[in-house]
Structure 1
Amino acid sequence: MSFAPRFLAILLAVLCSAWPARAAQDAAPERGTAITDPTTLRDLDGGRFRLDRMLLPTRAADTPLTNDALFALPSMTPVRQAIDVEFDRYVVRHTATLPKETIGVGAGFDFQLFDRTLLHSPETRFVLAGIVNRMDRTFVAEASCGEIRLIYRLTRINRAAGEDAVPPRLPMTLNLVVKARGEDAVITCGEIARRWLVMSGDGALSDKDSPLDLIRREDIDRIETNLQIAHAPKSAIRDFRTDYLLKVFRYNAQAGVFAEAPMENQIDRARLQADDGLKREFRAWLLDPVNLAAFDRGTALIPEKFLASGAIAPTPVGFDASGLEPVFGLVRGEGAVFGEPDIVAALRRAAEAGVKLQNIRSPAGFERRLNDVTCAGCHQTRGIGGFHFPGVDWMAEKPSNTAVVPASPHFFGDQVRRRDILASLRDVRPPDYSRGFSSRPQLRGSSELAGSNYNDGWGAHCYARGKPAAGNDASFRDWTCAEGLSCQAAGKTSRIGMCFVKSR
């Protein structure tokens, strides 16, 4: 087994074995920042947080809208149409490099497409899988105090006789993003943060001062979708490959529709490489010391003219589903936007201007940050099968291992930082919105994650330092392993690896 499949298998084993003990503790990393408890989510899905009730506030029917009716709503029709266009584009692209008979729906194909009829079927609906506080994104829009995300999972609700063995959950999430504070609200960001922070470790809510009372349909901002568009099982000629289609649809209240929109920081590589003028403009913008400092902190907002409205995120990372080209050719390879001399010169200019960078201290650090500020790059990092929040399957009688872990190591590792920001907002202190790389959490001086697979424990991402020390990359040399573990690098050339027990 190659490193990538072995990594995923080990990671899933770590998560699944750790979940029962972790969930029982009040010190759950997501306390005060997310609702992951399956019983609570089941009750909320039966109430006003069911997706059709969020989209249609006057809907009082007990029976949820199935997806055929959901995507027939005028507000959702553009979503279905845009996803269909992406599907067709994906098939055309891959049939250009692969025999047409090798791509299709079903196990008989080398590249197995998602059966898109299930997306708008009377047999499926979106089920509430989690609620996540993202007030750590207040820097994006201070007036709205960041966001609250209602995450729904595509699920079969009616199965034909004899299909009991078919998993009810399907590989797609729909993220309904709501402003944490509406335009007409008089409540402060600090009070919203306080209400979240008093929640118990299992996400239990009291009737008094519930933070969920503040979530309103009127404050919906957008829909984000993540769909496993195709899967290529391991074969004699290639390793396994899975592709995920990412899209964003911003709500136009005047028109009453969700319209396709540019994805935050999702750099349109193809367009930049095809337009030398746009490429130069983007390079100058990002390497400006002020923007480089925000980019280093993870708070840069790249102008929309450089962005794409959709992305394919492949897993494992490295090549697209055809196996023919690098996923991110922005730093290396033909047509690269940034050359190593550009980056070195920019780092020097930033230092001369007195800018102190926290994460980017080398061209490799710049490239990694360029990857993980994008939607696609972040989703490729420490996810569970391409998702950072699949949620616990509260509908299954006997959940499989992949359904009992609510979120990825990247998600859990980031909760300390998010709680720190909530506490700052509550206490009316200036928040520190910076974040580390997606592979390695920013601890903020906390020892809470020490020795865990989220930080430096078994299975954590690390950097295999060499000798002499001068040859170690300054962006990653602090990615060490806990005592008794050593960093085992992936492949012969990379020094990025995972923490495992030291070999004798």
Structure 2
Amino acid sequence: MRLRLNFIAILLCLVAPVAQADEGNGLAVTDPGVLRALETHGTHGLGLAQLLDPARSVPIPSDTLFALPAMTPVRAALDDAFTRYLADHRSRQPRVSIGVGPGHDVQLFDQAMLTSPDARFVLAGIVNRMDRAYVAPDTCGEIRLIYRLTRTAAGTTPPRLPMTLNLVLHAKDPNDRSVTCTDLAGRWLDSASFTETGAARADRLLKPDGPLATITAAHVDRVETNLQIVHRPKSETQEFRTDYLQKVFRFDATVKQFREAPMENQIDRDRLLADAALGRAFRDWLLAPVNLLAFDRGTVLIPEKFLATTSLSSTPAGFAPSALQPEFGLIDSKGKGVFSERDVVAALERAVAQGGALENIRSPAGFARRLNDITCGGCHQIRGIGGFHFPGADTLADQSQGTVAASPHFIGDQPRRRDIVMAMRDGKAPDFSRGFSDRPQMRGNNELAGSPLLDGWGATCYRPKLKGVADKSFATWTCAEGLACQQIGADASSAIGMCFVK
């Protein structure tokens, strides 16, 4: 375990320079000084309280936040999720203690922080997600404001707690014709050349022609929460593991509250395996050529009847198939799952025969990998920092050195996102497709070549069998010169490894 943790630390050190260099691309705000100024801005503050309750002008602590009428369903749903998790743990492992603090075998997130006057959600980043405009084209995609739960009482450590709350907004009002997607894309890309820093940069971002000018309470679509519900330290009786609880709450304008909602593409594995009719319906829907092609491109939107309202994502999940992965058990060559390999092969052949061009999924293994990484939980298991893709900047610390605001997955996806926003700016039809979460989709751009994000030391790669044909879904997952794809973990049969020195 110590070797694994050392490896993760080294990998993050290698990724950090790439992450810092990419902050200038105009599609994310990660500078602590700018974020502090934006959160406390006098006329257009972007603090969580100001956007949820515009009458407020200053940040509010957690106890006040979750007492807001709009947020009470969020707190109730989180409490219920904790209750269910504890009940499940005690039924499965009655002799393994669980509770808050290091005196327990399984260390539980301190729920008291959600109602504490000495903690609040601090603005830790702003992310352009106009690459998601395929979901709702008339809104030009999304803008995400990420807040990190942080202790505010003097002397408390660690100050930053393992929980983020994302406020997801429409990039623009679909009824507002004064600004177009082309205009908005140009504003974001132009911000990469801004020379101001700190409060001056915040002011410029918020100007009427700035990229953040469209952010208002009226554009709020949903709240997404992600918290490390438990931490299992390595011991003689258990391996190191952390579990992350993820939920989504959509804003219901009729009652002015955030309501628990199905999570986009978070396949409800347990229900699909338990309900044969539901499983068959899902199989037939997903394997239909038009849906399979969208699934291949990463733009599929699975109907809500097949989805869950909660995700429990465990890390590290490893590369070998296991129950920790959301898709585990859905594909079974013995016919016990929802899909058989024969089903998948036949569906891929039908899609191609009808003129479809498959970009990623070219085998049952590729289908299984997409089935996993299309989910919220599965994606957060891949190239994250713990269970986070954006843990955010530390804006309250005296010094921010050593803080990596974004995960390798986030940084590796920036060239694809930038390509989409540039197409929108130029009035071209964007290519919204994406590759697998393990490997960035470079679109002819070589800026990440040789880095841990693509094919350098520590990158995810494919280990072809000594005999037989290479799997076409992963054949391009090679390593840079001087490196070889090597086994990670105890499962020698796993086809996925990492690039290390030969």
Contact 1:35 1:203 in 2 (8 A): no
Matched, 1:174 2:154: no
Q: What letter matches 2:188 in structure 1?
A: W
Contact 1:12 1:384 in 2 (8 A): no
**What residue in structure 1 maps to residue 119 of structure 2?**
124
**1:353-406 CA-partner distances (Å, limit 9, x unpaired):** 2211100011110000000000000011100011000012121235584xx101
Using the alignment, how far apart are the partners of 1:245 and 1:202 within structure 2?
Answer: 37
2:131 to 122, 132, 136: 136
Give the drift of 1:197.
0.4
Task: Mark the CA change 1:46 to 1:73 in structure 2 (over 3 Å): closer, same or farther.
Answer: same
**1:296-320 CA-partner distances (Å, limit 9, x unpaired):** 000000000111111100111169x
Spell out the pairing of 1:88-99 with structure 2 (5 A cutoff).
Answer: 88-99=83-94
**What residue in structure 1 maps to residue 252 of structure 2?**
252
**What residue in structure 2 maps to residue 151 of structure 1?**
146
Give the drift of 1:254.
1.8
**What residue in structure 1 maps to residue 55 of structure 2?**
58
Contact 1:11 1:459 in 2 (8 A): no
Give the drift of 1:326.
6.1
Q: What letter matches 1:78 in structure 2?
A: P
Contact 2:27 2:418 in 1 (8 A): yes
Using the alignment, how far apart are the partners of 2:401 and 2:79 within structure 1?
Answer: 30
**What residue in structure 2 maps to residue 433 of structure 1?**
432
Deviates more, 1:42-51 or 1:431-440: 42-51
Spell out the pairing of 1:88-487 with structure 2 (5 A cutoff).
Answer: 88-99=83-94, 102-159=97-154, 163-164=155-156, 166-186=157-177, 187-200=179-192, 205=201, 206=204, 207=207, 209-317=209-317, 327=326, 328-332=328-332, 335-399=336-400, 401=402, 404-468=403-467, 470-487=468-485
Give the drift of 1:334.
8.5
Matched, 1:44 2:2: no
Secondary structure of the 1:492 match is coil
Give the drift of 1:275.
1.2
Using the alignment, how far apart are the partners of 1:291 and 1:88 within structure 2?
Answer: 37
Contact 2:223 2:250 in 1 (8 A): yes
Using the alignment, how far apart are the partners of 2:308 and 2:184 within structure 1?
Answer: 33
Using the alignment, how far apart are the partners of 2:444 and 2:255 within structure 1?
Answer: 47
**What residue in structure 1 maps to residue 11 of structure 2?**
14
Q: CA RMSD in A?
A: 2.0
Secondary structure of the 1:214 match is coil
Number of residue pairs aligned between Structure 1 and Structure 2: 484
Secondary structure of the 2:115 match is coil
Q: What letter matches 2:99 in structure 1?
A: G
Secondary structure of the 1:119 match is helix
Task: Mark the CA change 1:317 to 1:123 in structure 2 (over 3 Å): closer, same or farther.
Answer: same
Contact 1:36 1:203 in 2 (8 A): no
Using the alignment, how far apart are the partners of 1:208 and 1:447 within structure 2?
Answer: 35
**1:475-497 CA-partner distances (Å, limit 9, x unpaired):** 11110111111111223111211
Task: Mark the CA change 1:40 to 1:463 in structure 2 (over 3 Å): closer, same or farther.
Answer: same
Task: Mark the CA change 1:453 to 1:21 in structure 2 (over 3 Å): closer, same or farther.
Answer: closer
Using the alignment, how far apart are the partners of 1:55 and 1:411 within structure 2?
Answer: 27
Using the alignment, how far apart are the partners of 1:184 and 1:325 within structure 2?
Answer: 43
Give the drift of 1:100.
5.3
Task: Mark the CA change 1:41 to 1:29 in structure 2 (over 3 Å): closer, same or farther.
Answer: closer
**What residue in structure 1 maps to residue 28 of structure 2?**
34
Task: Mark the CA change 1:433 to 1:338 in structure 2 (over 3 Å): closer, same or farther.
Answer: same
Give the drift of 1:455.
0.6
Give the drift of 1:425.
0.5
Give the drift of 1:331.
1.5
Contact 2:23 2:30 in 1 (8 A): no
Give the drift of 1:19.
2.6
Contact 2:435 2:441 in 1 (8 A): yes
Contact 1:144 1:180 in 2 (8 A): yes
Gaps of 5+ in 2: none
Q: What letter matches 1:432 in structure 2?
A: D
Contact 2:14 2:452 in 1 (8 A): no
Give the drift of 1:193.
0.4
Deviates more, 1:116-125 or 1:194-203: 194-203
Contact 1:252 1:258 in 2 (8 A): yes
Secondary structure of the 2:212 match is helix
Gaps of 5+ in 1: none
When the two structures are superposed, what TM-score results if normalisation uses the length of structure 1? 0.92
Give the drift of 1:344.
1.3
Matched, 1:68 2:68: no
